[in-house]
Amino acid sequence: MNFYDELRTLDPRDPGRWSTPVRGFFIGVIFLVCAAIAWYMLVWTEDRPRLLAAESDEQSLRQQFETKQQRAANLDAYKAQLAEMERSFGAMLRQLPGKTEVPNLLVDISQTGLAAGLQEKLFQPGQEVDKGFYAELPIRIRLVGSYHEFGKFVSGIAALPRIVTLHDIQINPVEGRGAAFDDLTMDVTAKTYRYIEDDNGHGGGKKSAHAGGST
């Protein structure tokens, strides 16, 4: 009788009559089952959290690698963008008047109001405010005229080659006898900006002023 036929005819209630090969086979099976259970309880259960953590780290490292790879592939584009930003920053700096140019700029602002047909009632430059690499010069202005003339004045300020911004605009009707229906008074603070590098030979930072007629 071969081993397979012997397994089929075994009496599970009388293992004492089993042959030695059959006993060895079942002892081996029991040993393997016990070893598998012990491995699962002692090794797999303990190592599984480390395996899951390693898989998570692998995913994170893979994402970091892909991100850095994309940045490396776009390095030339980033360099070109940086060069363009530096050119734009230089263009903005050129719009900031030097110390010797400020008086002429004040005249240009005043002349812009007169050219628009406005009457200048107040033109009072204030104290410069240090903003780092540039200084801010506020100018209190009071003008009398019509809405249309105010619009021409604002457009003229925006067209100046230097940066001038308008703030705290207040428009009120002119009171008193003889005032026309469209006679208005505009109180406004104009601000211009000066690059401090002209004073000490170096700038104090890299900020940019916003150009043109904001309110």
Task: Note the pLDDT tens digit of each residue in 91-124.
Answer: 666 666 667 677 888 899 999 999 999 999 999 9
Convert the pLDDT of each residue in 136-172 to its tens digit: 889 999 999 998 999 999 999 999 888 888 999 999 9
Residue from 118, 101, 105, 195 nearest 154 by CA:
118
Mean pLDDT of 176-186: 72
Question: Coil, helix or strand for 154?
Answer: helix
- Please tell me the distance from the alpha carbon of residue 152 to that of residue 146, in angstroms, as a whole number: 10
Convert the pLDDT of each residue in 183-209 to its tens digit: 899 999 999 887 776 444 444 444 433
Residue from 106, 173, 163 nearest 140 by CA:
106
Instruction: Locate all alpha helices (DSSP H) within 116-208, ordered by sequence.
Output: 147-158, 197-200
Write the CB contacts of 40 (distance below 8 Å, at least 6 apart in sequence). none
Question: Coil, helix or strand for 65?
Answer: helix
Q: Are strands 164-173 and 134-145 parallel, antiparallel or unpaired?
A: unpaired
pTM above 0.85, yes or no: no
- Please tell me the distance from the alpha carbon of residue 169 to that of residue 189, in angstroms, as a whole number: 7
